[in-house]
Amino acid sequence: MEKGYRASITGVGSFLPEKILTNDDLVKMLNTTDEWITKRTGIKERRIVENGAATSDLAIEASLRALDDAKVLPSEVDLIITSTITPDCLFPSTSCFIQEKIGASNAGAFDILAACAGFVYALSIAENFVISGAMNTVLVVGSECLSKITDYTDRSTCILFGDGAGAAVVQRSNGKREIITTHLGSDGSQADLLMLPAGGSKLPASHKTIESRSHYIQLKGKEIFKLAVNNMVDVIRKTVSENNMKIEDIDLIIPHQSNVRIIEAAMEKLKQPKEKAFINIDRYGNTSSASIPIAIDEIDKGKVLKPGDTVLLVAFGGGLTWSSSIVKW
């Protein structure tokens, strides 16, 4: 589709809880070692919310920081889109809690659920609202309290996940952090590889679902690993090709922070140096849809990129879903 103008990420912000759960802490809870966790995931520590904190609490802090970065007042926000698999409650949306608490009195609000690929899904929606002229300012949030749905008796999953939030303000392009393209995909036939089985209309909460621990994340790690590597490679190649670019034209890849082995294997298949992929999973773990906006904010604040650099965002997660975007810094 030809666009009369483009959309830009005009502000970014993130927020991480203060509490740190290290591999050594997990060693005290489980039959594992720091070496075992690090070798398989690349994770050394992850952030965990205190009791009583909700996904919206993290999102509010990240949102306010993004709005401040964009020099936008909450009253100027037209729409809030939150990507999360850990909403405060099934309804109303977490976006509505954010809207009220930041004072975005003129904003519509809704959530999307596309798991780890969700932030770029939400970014795509925001981009299209802006380029159509329907909205001037959209706040896009990725926020998760994955510790609330993580089984800390299951060594295969509890080593992976952490809590955090990131946010971006999307407006008509100002020539910086310009969204060039977004791509979305899914394969529902693989849904059972990564899911939270209970709590919805199919398996409402019951004594049976609680006893079977079906309200926690369930992951088939070996199957997901191979799919994630191949999918990430395919999505990157397709995104680059459809924009008449080569992989060498990309200055930095910001992948969803799922597992450092997945990222490194994908970079090897692409025949690119692993340093070309931004990695912070060692400090935060897998924060699902929050991982890419947290990374964007860290990169921006650290001045890792220079104006005109080309960045590729790519994510793969439950659904199965995947997404990508090219952003001109």
Tell me: do 229 and 116 sit in the same domain.
no
Contact between residue 10 and residue 177 where contact means Cβ atoms under 8 Å apart: yes
Residues 6+ apart with CB under 8 A from 293: 12, 14, 62, 119, 140, 141, 142, 165, 166, 167, 168
Q: CA-based angle 241:262:156, to the nearest 5? A: 145
The answer to whether 256 is a known catalytic residue is yes
Do 116 and 171 lie in one domain? The reply is yes
DSSP letter, residue 277: B
Q: Which of 147, 176, 205 is the last residue of a domain?
A: 176
Q: Answer yes or no: do 162 and 209 share one domain.
A: no
The residue segments making up the domain with residue 279 are: 180-328
Question: Do 256 and 107 share a structural domain?
Answer: no
Q: Does residue 305 lie within any of the structural domains?
A: yes
135-181 residue pLDDT tens: 999 999 999 999 999 999 999 999 999 999 999 999 999 889 999 99
From 128, 231, 256, 259, active-site residue: 256
Asked if residue 287 belongs to a domain, the reply is yes
Please identify which of the residues 116, 128, 145, 158 carries the catalytic annotation.
116
Written as one letter, the residue type at 315 is: A
User: 187 with 287, same domain?
Assistant: yes
- CB 159 within 8 Å of CB 44: no
Q: Do both 27 and 115 map to the same domain?
A: yes
Catalytic annotation, pick one of 23, 128, 259, 286: 286
Task: Record the tokens describing residue 5, joined without a space.
Answer: 């103008």
If one compares 183 and 174, the residue with the highest pLDDT of the two is: 183
Q: Is 282 helix (H, G, I), strand (E, B) or coil?
A: helix
User: 15-62, pLDDT tens digit by residue?
Assistant: 999 999 999 999 999 999 999 999 999 999 999 999 999 999 999 999
Tell me, what's the pLDDT at 174? Answer: 85
CATH code of the domain in which 274 resides: 3.40.47.10
Residue 258 has pLDDT above 90, yes or no: yes
Q: Answer yes or no: 207 catalytic.
A: no
Beta strands in 116-248 (DSSP E): 137-145, 163-172, 178-186, 194-195, 218-219
Confidence class for position 4, pLDDT limits 50, 70, 90: low
Count of the separate structural domains present in the chain: 2
The first and second tokens of residue 268, run together, are 């090897």
The reported pTM is 0.96
Strand locations in the chain (E): 7-15, 20-22, 45-47, 79-83, 108-112, 137-145, 163-172, 178-186, 194-195, 218-219, 252-255, 310-317, 321-328
Position 84 in a domain? yes
User: Is-catalytic flag, 286?
Assistant: yes
